[in-house]
Chain A
Amino acid sequence: MAKAEKIEIYVNLCKGCEICVELCPVDALEMKDFKAAVKDLDKCIACMQCELRCPDFAIEVYKK
């Protein structure tokens, strides 16, 4: 299973829609102060679903 090296979340761009959090298949993300945040990087399988569906260019996943 692919892994992520890091997940970059640009809080200035994030509008807090929760799409990434809710669509993440492994629950690796969470909301913090109305913005997306990484909950558990180890869980991330680098499926890119969050990055692909973020409407705001606010989340980038870097594969290992």
Chain B
Amino acid sequence: MSYDYSKYLRKGKIPHIWCPGCGYGIIMKSMIRAIDSIGWEKDDVVMTSGIGCASRLPGYVDFNTLHTTHGRSLAFATGVKVANPKLNVIAMGGDGDMTAIGGNHFIHACRRNINITCFVFNNFIYGMTGGQYSPTTPKGSRATTAPFGNSDNQFDIAQLAIGAGATFVARTTTYHAVPMEKLMKQAFEHKGFSIVEIIAGCPTGYGRKNKLASPAGMIEWQKEHSVAIAQWEKMSEEEKAGKFPIGVLHDVEKPEYVEAYDANVGLS
């Protein structure tokens, strides 16, 4: 055994509700290791989530956990953080939760640069409701609401975050379980709004509909289609086609929201 998760898991809550082969269990494990490695006290960690498969995560882990309404993870998280900035706040949600119904909260949390870490679990689909297309479903992919293939254009979540003003933006996949842990830790250490987009497989809602391989095949797909950012930057446009960069995509310093507010209004 390389790591004992039991310290952070709530007793009697595992097995989780995720389908066989769902990547979210892998993310949960990396997240636990990242929190352990940064050494935060469990009492000081607040986790918020919205609605959807990803948003069930906080129920399994032994922190102060807040499973909110659809898309509102970051809005609740902002209230918690502004009311008590000492808490380490982690907000999470899926691609639909964070960038469709919660899109407004997402861009404004980025803009404020509030010291919250946000994890977006991107599995290209609405899983909980059975596989409808989301803002990240690839064009042409099938979904229960796109029986002829998806006509929509996609959000690039990381680029959206950078454009909206997030100061730390990273992307990883469930293939990269250990690098994911390291990126999460970096995101925790970053002062300001940090985002890690995690590409994950939904074998049930997305995989089946699109005749993708097994859960392991989806993980292999992530390995084959992701490119480390350093290498990505040297690639031609043709080489980039169909692939996506992973690693730290953006890391800058800007005044943190609550600190700036406090300084501005004379609160120390």
In Å, the complex CA distance between A22 and B218 comes to 11
Assess whether B177 is in contact with A52, with CB atoms less than 8 Å apart: yes
- The chain B residue sitting closest to A55, CB to CB, is B25
Question: Which residues of chain A have C-beta atoms less than 8 A from B214's C-beta?
Answer: 17-19, 22
The smallest C-beta distance from A34 to any residue of chain B, in angstroms, reads 9
Is B21 located at the chain interface by the 8 A CB criterion? yes
Question: Which residues of chain B have C-beta atoms less than 8 A from A56's C-beta?
Answer: 14-16, 25
Interface string of A16-38 (1 = CB under 8 A from B): 11110111000000000000000
Q: How many residues of B contact A (CB 8 A)?
A: 29
Is B24 located at the chain interface by the 8 A CB criterion? yes
Assess whether A55 is in contact with B2, with CB atoms less than 8 Å apart: no
A17 touching B1 in the complex, CB below 8 Å, given contacts A55-B18, A56-B25: no
Is B240 located at the chain interface by the 8 A CB criterion? no
The range of chain A's interface size is 20 to 34
In Å, the complex CA distance between A15 and B203 comes to 13
Interface string of B13-43 (1 = CB under 8 A from A): 0111011111111101100000000000000
Assess whether B15 is in contact with A15, with CB atoms less than 8 Å apart: yes
Assess whether A17 is in contact with B29, with CB atoms less than 8 Å apart: no
Partner of A19, one of B9, B18, B219: B219
Assess whether B25 is in contact with A54, with CB atoms less than 8 Å apart: yes
In Å, the complex CA distance between A51 and B3 comes to 9
Assess whether A18 is in contact with B216, with CB atoms less than 8 Å apart: yes
In Å, the complex CA distance between A21 and B28 comes to 21
Assess whether A51 is in contact with B1, with CB atoms less than 8 Å apart: yes
Question: Which residues of chain A have C-beta atoms less than 8 A from B22's C-beta?
Answer: 55
In Å, the complex CA distance between A23 and B28 comes to 19
The smallest C-beta distance from B20 to any residue of chain A, in angstroms, reads 4
Question: Which residues of chain B have C-beta atoms less than 8 A from A44's C-beta?
Answer: none
- The chain A residue sitting closest to B223, CB to CB, is A23
Question: Which residues of chain A have C-beta atoms less than 8 A from B28's C-beta?
Answer: 55
28 contacts between A and B (CB under 8 A): A13-B14, A15-B20, A15-B21, A17-B20, A17-B21, A17-B214, A17-B216, A19-B215, A19-B216, A22-B214, A22-B216, A22-B217, A23-B216, A51-B1, A51-B2, A52-B26, A52-B178, A53-B26, A53-B175, A53-B219, A55-B18, A55-B21, A55-B22, A55-B29, A56-B14, A56-B15, A61-B2, A62-B1
User: Which 9 pairs across A and B sit closest by C-beta, in order of nearness?
Assistant: A55-B25, A17-B21, A22-B216, A15-B20, A17-B20, A60-B1, A52-B177, A17-B215, A19-B216
Apart from A8-B1, A19-B214: 11 A-B pairs, beta carbons within 8 A: A18-B215, A22-B214, A22-B217, A23-B219, A51-B1, A53-B174, A54-B26, A55-B23, A55-B28, A57-B29, A61-B1
